[in-house]
Amino acid sequence: MAFRGKEIFVMNKVLVLGAGAWGTTIAKIVSENVSNKVFLWTYEKRLCSLINAKNINSKYLPKVKLNKKITAINSLEEIDGDIIFIATPSQKVSEVIYKIKKKNRLFHKRKLTFVICSKGIDAKKKKFLSEIVCEAFQNSQIAVLSGPTFAMPLAKKMPAAATLATKNKKTSQLLVKLLSRPYFRIYTSSDLIGIQANGVLKNVLAIAAGITEGLQLGENARAAIISRGIKEISNFVIGIGGKGKTVYGLSGLGDILLTCTSMSSRNFYFGYQLGSGKKIKSILTKSKHVTEGFDNITLVYLIAKKFKKESPIINAVYDITIRKKPINAIVKKLLLRELKQE
């Protein structure tokens, strides 16, 4: 489907949950494609007022002017929508979804479409975010949006591409229309599991890549970590029922190339600081953003162990971040493993 540069009128009400940089960017993109309002929910009252008064998210997306069709809201009781983009931190998705179900009766009366834009696994329930949403709203359509997309460049209309996964063809067609712009190209897939797994695992790999940078091990070491990490991700995705080819698409290889090579990546920068000798508590305290790779590493480690797949890089990140083992000792252990055929 080619983008023709015209607004499309959508009878459905569009809601974005989460007014961080990514959620705000999603709202901005969608607002360029629809004639009606786009609602942007945030738990921060002051931020809500600022967005509505000045059409700018000065906290998470500074200096980017927002479309006047974007209306920020703060109350879960007041939100409304048929198409709902979820862009909260992954560990908050379950809490927000079930609060909506409990407090807002409007969502009980209609067929909903949820688009998961967050990347992670629910650590407490040990489930993908699509499973969490399906359990709360059983008759809803589920889609996942993922790819190499830092929020700020995309909000500034710099070219990017992402993958949208859903099982329903009509849902896919509608969402592609909502999200496609001349600067934002959407590819489609049906592999919900593979795309979500990619989003989780690339964050763990980014921590490992960042550690090599912090230790000043050089570009050769980083390239080796990324290459072997992709192999681990492929084994993991196939092991849990995803498609191997998904790993080499935008949500996998594309996002890995971005996240594992840039200081703009929260997870890469987290690893860089670890490699530079900083303590985890200090890093997390000073950070304004959630580090999804750290939040998910324990569950990723346990799943990899369950499927009995060799995952030395996942194990190494787990040993460093959770078991607090010395970084240099873990690096040495990685390098001195038994030699094997590629």
Q: Is 263 exposed, middle or buried (0-12, 13-18, 19+ CB in 10 A)?
A: exposed
Tell how strand 14-17 and strand 141-146 pair up: unpaired
CA atoms within 13 Å, Cβ hemisphere of 18: 24
DSSP string, 102-157: HH-GGGGSS--EEEE----EETTTTEEHHHHHHHHSTT-EEEEEESS--HHHHHTT
Classify each residue of 145-179 as buried b or exposed e, where b means 16 or more C-beta atoms within 10 Å of its C-beta: bbbbbbbbebbeeeebebbbbbeeeebbebbbbbb
The tokens describing 105, both together, are 């009766």
Yes or no: say if 106 and 87 are a contact pair by the CB < 8 Å rule: no
Per residue in 68-82, is it b (16+ CB within 10 Å) or e — as a string?
ebbebbbebeebebb
Which residues are known to be catalytic? 202
